[in-house]
Amino acid sequence: MNIPLKVTLIAGGVGGAKMAEGFAALDGVRLSVIGNVADDEEFHGLWVSPDIDTLTYSLAGLIDRKQGWGVADEGHRALDVLRRLGQNCWMSLGDRDFGLHIWRTMRRARGDRPSTIAADAARAFGVVPQILLPTDDRVQTRIRTDAGWITFQQYFVQQRCEPEVREILFDGIEAARPTPEALEAISDADLIVIAPSNPLVSIGPILAVPGIEDALRAAPALCIAVSPLIAGKVVKGPADRMMAALGMRADVEGIAERYRGLADLLVIDHADEAMSKQVGAHGLKAIVRDILMPDQANKARLAGDIVQLAGSWRAA
């Protein structure tokens, strides 16, 4: 009997969930995912946690595959009524989704730890990997546009990533304490993977929780990052434009610079092979693989490539 490989994945929303599904499909892997809570926001008095829910729904096989987020077989009757009652309903929340938000809000009001709530939800939905929160404290991304500071969901959903991003901050980050579960998943991992998620607003607020980045640096495990960019373009979302707007290189070199000292390897796409040297200049070894994950087979294939990489690295 083989001892399972303990993989800890640092993951944002959709890209992170795809990578998580890849590892979850592998035999011999025990997966823990540390998700992002800084996209959380209150809507209609309910606490919504989009990135954590995307992980949960994806790993539970409940995700709306066509849309890439939300639950399949969803209705919008509750939102219809809220709109009729005069609420601003730009955040599309489905009826099934509301069930989870109602429950989460009730449990938070009772004083339950957000980590426990997330773990209980995952278990109820039949998710096998552990879904961990980097912190139980309230941390919220704020984005400064030319029209002022807005929340992440206002930027991402309401304004469809249209405004130029001038500045990003994580409200509450200084006082946030890391969860013991996240710290343990990092220190105990056999392999740490940074998912191809937005480095600024998905991975960024996880790393920014005091103690998390230190734990990553101190962890004995190999750390492999997967580039969210292919040929300077993001598969989904605003990462490339955000990076450029904030004066970063919006390419694999920019990613290497961001994860310098944290990740040992950076998995990049064939399209970026020519930039392997620039990646190396930041202290990360570039590994070229097919990093697109259009379907379940490719998610598992990329996760398998990463596990194999880790094996050959250890053997070397």
Interacting residues toward a copy of itself by CB under 8 A: 44-46, 73-75, 77-82, 84-87, 94-100, 102-103, 105-106, 109, 120-121, 124-125
Residue 169, Cβ density class (10 Å: 0-12 exposed, 13-18 middle, ≥19 buried)? middle
For a copy of itself, which is the closer residue by CB, 101 or 142? 101
Cα-flanking dihedrals φ and ψ of residue 76, to 5°? Answer: -135, 35
Contact in structure between 259 and 278 (CB atoms under 8 Å): no
For a copy of itself, which is the closer residue by CB, 102 or 300? 102
For a copy of itself, which is the closer residue by CB, 43 or 259? 43
For a copy of itself, which is the closer residue by CB, 69 or 103? 103
Contact in structure between 17 and 127 (CB atoms under 8 Å): no
Supply the minimum distance, in Å, between the C-beta of residue 111 and a copy of itself: 12
Supply the minimum distance, in Å, between the C-beta of residue 93 and a copy of itself: 10
For a copy of itself, which is the closer residue by CB, 120 or 213? 120
For a copy of itself, which is the closer residue by CB, 116 or 296? 116
Supply the minimum distance, in Å, between the C-beta of residue 140 and a copy of itself: 19
- Region of 73 on the Ramachandran plot (φ > 0 left; ψ -120 to 50 alpha; else beta): left
Supply the minimum distance, in Å, between the C-beta of residue 295 and a copy of itself: 27
Counted residue by residue, the chain has a size of: 316
Contact in structure between 205 and 36 (CB atoms under 8 Å): yes
Supply the minimum distance, in Å, between the C-beta of residue 21 and a copy of itself: 20
Q: Which amino acid is at 275?
A: M
Cα-flanking dihedrals φ and ψ of residue 267, to 5°? Answer: -85, 120
The dihedral built from the CA positions of residue 115, 123, 110 and 78, taken in this order, carries a sign that is positive
Supply the minimum distance, in Å, between the C-beta of residue 83 and a copy of itself: 8
Q: Angle, nearest 10°, between helix axes 95-109 and 114-124?
A: 140
